[in-house]
Amino acid sequence: MDCLVTGGAGFIGSNLVRGLLDRGMTVRVLDNLSTGRAGNLADIRGRFEMVKGDIVSPANARKAVAGVKYVFHLAALPSVPRSVEDPVGSNEANTTGMLNMLTAARDAGVERFVFSSSSSVYGDAPELPKREDMLPAPLSPYAVQKLCGEYYCRIFHGLYGFKTFSLRYFNVYGPRQNPKSQYAAVIPIFIELLRSGKKPVIYGDGGQTRDFTFVADVVAANIACCSAPAKAAGKVFNVAVGNRISVNELAARLAEFTGRKIKPLYKPSRKGDVRDSLADVRLANKMLGWKAEVSVDEGLKRTVEWFMQS
């Protein structure tokens, strides 16, 4: 078996599964379907091996990594608000579960382990763009948990020579992102509300900025870690476009692309949210040979088209 994708029934995971299959690789998916959806993989059922199980079980982790070359660890309880409401529950999945997978992969002789981290580890430091060598300043339990995962990856490389790669995603969006969850990301929620003729809700004044990254570029960054030079192992990489827009601009563009001219509804800011986010992507360009290929406008158009047809 070439690859294991934990959380492979989720938004990013299901897109990654397709990307790996398209490149001729064999794939196993581990998912407990707590936040992932079987429907995300329905059209490719039979092309991969599905294992239903929870990463907090060491036995499940050992079973899933058996005979695998590359592990892409995406399984997590996502969302800053969720972690604020339930820090213990999210820690079990995002820290204990991650360590289970990392240990099992090392013990099984896996060649490379790619960890999905988050730009939330930077917190609200005013300096932009965010560089990998900046001091992290997490503002939420979720960000702390992702940072902990990065540290585990780094020390497993340093102590055991295990080739690990940590990818800090910046506001990923695209097809198969779930708009129904109470913790859903802003773009699918906005699209669904606009489709229904309802006002999109913006928390704060809408001037906050984000480096929105199309999911196909995130898939490409993960796959690049399989062939990256050994000197890239043990490091953290920003995965983003390297350009930012405000949430107000986002709402305006989505209104245009959906053909719905509806003004947003503004509500108070949420705890744990950062004000501005922009990535320095030079390290990933240099060491992984990767760069984002999809502009924000192109990515939003493709995302709106997918949701309109689904």
* Torsion sign (Cα): 138, 141, 147, 151: positive
What are the angstrom distances between the C-alpha of 147 and each of 43, 117, 119?
34, 7, 10
Task: Retrieve residue 259's tokens.
Answer: 């053909």
Return the axis-axis angle of helices 141-160 and 98-107, rounded to nearest 10°: 20
What 3 state SS string does 42-64 have? Answer: HHHCCCCEEEECCCCCHHHHHHH
Is 70 annotated as catalytic? no
**Do 77 and 118 form a contact (C-beta atoms < 8 A)?**
no
Which position among 142, 152, 169, 173 bears the catalytic label? Answer: 142
Closest CA to 235 of 144, 136, 167: 167
Amino acid identity for residue 154 in this structure = R
Task: Retrieve residue 175's tokens.
Answer: 């097809």
Amino acid identity for residue 79 in this structure = S
Q: Regarding beta strands 265-267 and 201-203, do their DSSP bridges make them parallel or antiparallel, or are they unpaired?
A: parallel
Residues taking part in catalysis? 142
